[in-house]
Structure 1
Amino acid sequence: MALNIPGLSGSSSTSGATGAGAVTGTNQMGQEEFLEMLLAEINNQDPLNPQSSSEFVGQLAQITSVENLNSLNSQITGLVSSLQYSQAMQATDLVGKTVTVPMNIMELDNTGTMSGEVQVPVNTDRLQVFVQDANGQVVSSMDFGPQYSGTVPFTTDDLAKGIYSISAVATYGVDNETVPVALSTKVDSVVIPGGGKEIELNLAGIGAMPVSQVSRIGQ
């Protein structure tokens, strides 16, 4: 006589691996209830056809595994919440500071400058940076000449209020290649979405950006 537990089967190891939801809700059974049923099963089994002890042990192992998984899930959830809280507290320290992120478009509320950096992958014969307005017109350009591989900072001058895009071109012999650009701006506020989602920074002139995208932190 087999012991019948709703959602658990002693004859199939697969049900034990995938039956996490089988011991939840109205059919939930703890170890104590299982052991009571197990003792009753043993006491009332047919002495001429006794139940295999391995089946009892297998069913007990299944329910124990499910309970251990539930406990582990709870611990992981708590750990994630703690980590998010810690990251949020660290992120709030960035408010008012200047950060650099991989972005090539920025909106200026007032006349001013734009600064950032170009990442040169390999030594280049010539590096140029171009600033375009919302109409696609080049309003400023910078020629840095030959550059070694690495980070090359740049700053524009006296741009009027508006939206601008930055592009950088590296020359290798007769070939020109676009290379990555990052812009620097102030952190206005921090967004903590919760639910395991990544913390975001509201950046002046750029908008929301995941905190993991920050490549440099200034004053």
Structure 2
Amino acid sequence: MSIDPLASTLGAPAPDPRTDALTSAQNGMGRDEFLKLLTTQIENQDPLDPLKNHEFVAQLAQFSALEQQIITNDSLSQMQQSQMSLSNAQLTNMIGKEVVARGDSVRIAGGDAQSIGLMLPSAASRVEITVSDQNGNAVAQVNRDRLSPGYQDVAWNGLNVDGQPLADGRYHVSVSAVDAAGNPMTVDTMTRGRVEAVTFENGIAELIVGNARVVPGDVLSIHDLVPAASPSASAPPSAIPDSQSQAEPQPEPQSPPPAPDQASPIPPNAEFDPDALIPDELAAEGNAPPAWFQALTR
């Protein structure tokens, strides 16, 4: 077996051409580069110690398995990208809806302060909530006693520590709580608001709730915003008066009576009476009808 003098001088093992090709393939070399390197190594191998057939076949088999693994990883990556795109498209359905999510922000709009959402793991004997502005300065304090476990909405008036109304905007909240035994508790703060938009930055989707960013995984509930009733909405059927809800019956049309100078038609299936055709003035005088009339009625 040949020994590289330079490698022996440096104290390092000589490179083995039977493993260099596979190592290069594992470092990101493609099929063409691997085959070119393998062919070059075979052409320049030591004739006294050539590459054995079974070793050559083993290297090809290992490279084939490695190539299949790379193809599988690429397929899984494409599948992951497709699922991510589908999930991102579904997130757009949340725009315009109200969500309750984990967060430490609360909003004041039009002088109305949003309630502070808390998630308590157990009953709390004392809860102290500190409201801070964007600079981290404490501006308000809200205290509550004996809160039940679970989700709780804590209302506050939006006033600072001096009793003055705070300006509209977003504020941060921090909570400290103790149980009945005086032991501190870990309380999660919640934020609630309308989803204004969905952003996708660096492959991460976030919901824009007011001025805050919420990760979809932190959303606990989604609600449809109920629009206010319109004053022009139609009244319910029960409010419609009976005089308007039911139409008055219309009289059946009647045929007009015959004109006075118009003879009434002969009813069907009636026997013909020639004497009925004699004018009244002739019948009253007792005179015989004229010859033309007698000939007509024969």
Report 1:47-196 matches (<5 A). Answer: 51-131=51-131, 135-138=137-140, 141=142, 143=144, 145-157=145-157, 160-172=167-179, 173-174=181-182, 179-193=187-201
* Residue ranges of structure 1 left out of the alignment (5+ in a row): 1-7
Shift of residue 97 of structure 1?
1.0
Corresponding residue for residue 291 of structure 2? none
Corresponding residue for residue 222 of structure 2? 217
Change (3 A) 1:14 1:106: farther
Shift of residue 210 of structure 1?
2.2
Shift of residue 209 of structure 1?
2.7
Q: Which has the higher mean CA deviation after the structures are superposed, 54-63 or 111-120? A: 111-120
Give per-residue Cα distances to partners, 1:154-212, cap 9 Å, x unaligned: 34446651343333332334456563211111111111235xx2211112132x33222
Q: Is the 8 A contact 1:100 1:116 kept in 2?
A: no
Q: Is the 8 A contact 1:167 1:181 kept in 2?
A: yes
Give per-residue Cα distances to partners, 1:57-106, cap 9 Å, x unaligned: 21112320232122112202211111111111111011011122322234
Shift of residue 147 of structure 1?
3.1
Relative to its length, the structure with more strand (as a share) is: 1
Change (3 A) 1:204 1:59: same
Point out the structure with max Rg over C-alpha.
Answer: 2
Q: Is the 8 A contact 1:185 1:205 kept in 2?
A: no
Corresponding residue for residue 237 of structure 2? none
Q: Is the 8 A contact 2:21 2:34 kept in 1?
A: no
Task: Output the CA distance in 2 between the equivalents of 1:13 and 1:51.
Answer: 13
Give the number of aligned pairs: 196
One-letter code aligned to 2:220: S
Change (3 A) 1:68 1:119: same
Q: Is the 8 A contact 1:198 1:211 kept in 2?
A: no
Change (3 A) 1:126 1:51: closer
One-letter code aligned to 1:71: I
Q: TM-score, normalising length from structure 2?
A: 0.53
Task: Output the CA distance in 1 between the equivalents of 2:19 and 2:170.
Answer: 68
Work out which structure has the larger RCO, using CA pairs closer than 8 Å and 6 or more positions apart in sequence: 1
Identity value in percent: 21
Task: Output the CA distance in 1 between the equivalents of 2:37 and 2:20.
Answer: 18
* Residue ranges of structure 2 left out of the alignment (5+ in a row): 1-15, 159-165, 225-298
One-letter code aligned to 1:169: S
Q: TM-score, normalising length from structure 1?
A: 0.69
One-letter code aligned to 1:212: G
Task: Output the CA distance in 2 between the equivalents of 1:129 and 1:9.
Answer: 70
Corresponding residue for residue 283 of structure 2? none
Task: Output the CA distance in 2 between the equivalents of 1:186 and 1:61.
Answer: 58
Corresponding residue for residue 208 of structure 2? 202
1:202 aligns to what SS in structure 2? strand
1:122 aligns to what SS in structure 2? coil
Q: Is the 8 A contact 2:22 2:59 kept in 1?
A: no
Task: Output the CA distance in 1 between the equivalents of 2:128 and 2:221.
Answer: 22
Change (3 A) 1:183 1:50: closer
1:168 aligns to what SS in structure 2? strand
Change (3 A) 1:68 1:162: same
Change (3 A) 1:165 1:178: farther
